């Protein structure tokens, strides 16, 4: 187990396995580094150094009362990469973690980074606005906060059992182990961090961040994503990025790194080796 302490005193937990070119994973809301188990073991076996941290207020990291916004998330990631003195790194972010990676690259530069991949990611902007008419109404995210505040444990059962992995689709075969592991990771974190994090992932506009990024970026998204709808995310991000490859997966859900790990891992490996 490793930890770093950020400038505002927050303790960030991380895993760091193996040697070789570093692959750094940023997890989704409200999970932890454990959500990357299938990827970390795979890339470790293929000769990479794999690193994943628990975002502030999530997992085993400390639970400060504030700082639950994309700037702090990006700064914490920068502090970790500096502490480990990573170079030629590949950053992979899922969902909210995709936003974290984008903000990190735009805010802290690309001097330590070779490539990035964003999977089922929240950029450019999730919430509906005048300039983002295809987004989801703010009331959707207000509802998330209300459910979290009313009964976080039940909410964290309902999300993975339903839309996150597409287990609510006709003919789907829900995995009790996957549902429980999502619940376990979520309940490890702090309610305040997760409550504020809903605003962070839904209302942060990454448009200008995406335009600044020059390293190659693989944009991966399932067209049956019920959490971050495909049409208002991946294709728009790919257009804004200077050096993007868009890969669309027919019928894949939001949580495809878990349920479709074999496909996702193979495509990520091909991108890393290209």
HEC secondary structure over the chain: CEEEECCCCCEEEEEEECCCCEEEEECCCCCCHHHHHHHHHHHHHCCCEEEEECCCCCCCCCCCCCCCCHHHHHHHHHHHHHHCCCCCEEEEEECHHHHHHHHHHHHHCCCCEEEEEEECCCCCCCECCCCCCCCECHHHHHHHHHHHHHHHHHHHHHHHHCCCCCCCCCCCCCCHHHHHHHHHHHHHCCHHHHHHHHHHHHHCCCHHHHHHCCCCEEEEEECCCCCCCHHHCHHHHHHHCCCEEEEEECCCCCCHHHHCHHHHHHHHHHHHHC
User: Exactly one of 95, 202, 233, 237 is catalytic; which is it?
Assistant: 95
For the residues 136-163, what does the mean pLDDT come to? 98
Q: Would you state the structure tokens that stand for residue 66, as one six-digit string?
A: 């504030």
The proportion of the chain whose per-residue pLDDT surpasses 70, expressed as a percent, equals: 100
For the residues 34-50, what does the mean pLDDT come to? 98
Q: In angstroms, rounded to a whole number, what is the distance separating the alpha carbons of residues 15 and 23?
A: 12
Are 229 and 221 spatial neighbours (Cβ–Cβ below 8 Å)? Answer: no
Task: Tell me what pLDDT residue 66 has.
Answer: 95
Q: Is 221 tagged catalytic?
A: no
CA of 79: how far to CAs of 73, 104, 112, 254, in Å? Answer: 10, 10, 12, 28
Is the pLDDT at 254 greater than 80, yes or no? yes
Burial 123-134 (b: 16+ CB within 10 A, else e): bbbbbbeeebee
Q: Mean pLDDT score of the chain, rounded to an integer?
A: 98
Task: Tell me what pLDDT residue 230 has.
Answer: 98
Q: What is the tens place of the pLDDT at every residue in 205-251? A: 999 999 999 999 999 999 999 999 999 999 999 999 999 999 999 99
Q: In angstroms, rounded to a whole number, what is the distance separating the alpha carbons of residues 25 and 272?
A: 14
Task: Tell me what pLDDT residue 177 has.
Answer: 98
Is the pLDDT at 105 greater than 90, yes or no? yes
Q: In angstroms, rounded to a whole number, what is the distance separating the alpha carbons of residues 24 and 16?
A: 9
> pLDDT grade, residue 94 (50/70/90)?
very high
Q: Is 225 tagged catalytic?
A: yes
Q: Is 62 tagged catalytic?
A: no
The proportion of the chain whose per-residue pLDDT surpasses 90, expressed as a percent, equals: 100
Cβ neighbours around 90 below 10 Å, total: 23
Is the pLDDT at 197 greater than 80, yes or no? yes
Is the pLDDT at 1 greater than 90, yes or no? no
User: Exactly one of 225, 232, 233, 237 is catalytic; which is it?
Assistant: 225
In terms of Cβ atoms closer than 10 Å to its own Cβ (0-12, 13-18, 19+), residue 65 is exposed
For the residues 88-109, what does the mean pLDDT come to? 98
User: Exactly one of 27, 72, 91, 254 is catalytic; which is it?
Assistant: 254
Task: Tell me what pLDDT residue 87 has.
Answer: 98
| pTM metric for this prediction | 0.98
Task: Tell me what pLDDT residue 229 has.
Answer: 97
Is the pLDDT at 261 greater than 80, yes or no? yes
Task: Tell me what pLDDT residue 128 has.
Answer: 96
Q: What is the tens place of the pLDDT at every residue in 163-188? A: 999 999 999 999 999 999 999 999 99
């Amino acid at each position: 187990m490793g930890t770093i302490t950020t400038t505002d005193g927050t303790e960030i937990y991380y895993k760091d396995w193996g040697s070789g070119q570093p692959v750094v994973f940023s997890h989704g809301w409200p999970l932890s580094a454990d959500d990357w188990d299938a990827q970390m073991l795979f890339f470790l076996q293929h000769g990479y150094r794999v690193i994943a941290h628990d975002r502030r207020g999530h997992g085993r990291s400390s639970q400060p009362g504030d700082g639950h916004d994309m700037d702090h998330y990006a700064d914490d990631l920068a502090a970790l990469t500096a502490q480990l003195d990573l170079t030629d790194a590949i950053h992979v972010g899922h969902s909210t973690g995709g936003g974290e990676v984008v903000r990190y690259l735009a805010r802290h530069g690309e001097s330590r980074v070779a490539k990035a991949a964003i999977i089922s990611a929240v950029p450019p902007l999730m919430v509906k606005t005048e300039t983002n008419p295809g987004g989801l109404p703010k009331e959707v995210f207000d509802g998330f906060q209300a459910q979290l505040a009313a009964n976080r444990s039940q909410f964290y059962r309902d999300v993975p059992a339903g839309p996150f992995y597409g287990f609510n689709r006709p003919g789907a075969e829900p995995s009790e182990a996957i549902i429980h592991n999502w619940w376990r990771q979520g309940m490890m974190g702090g309610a305040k961090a997760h409550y504020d994090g809903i605003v962070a992932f839904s209302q942060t506009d990454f448009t200008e961040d995406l335009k600044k990024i020059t390293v190659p970026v693989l944009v991966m998204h399932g067209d049956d994503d019920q959490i971050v709808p495909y049409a208002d995310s991946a294709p728009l991000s790919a257009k804004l990025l200077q050096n993007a490859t868009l890969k669309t997966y027919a019928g894949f859900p939001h949580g495809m790194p878990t349920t479709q790990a074999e496909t996702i891992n193979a495509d990520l490996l091909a991108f890393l080796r290209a």
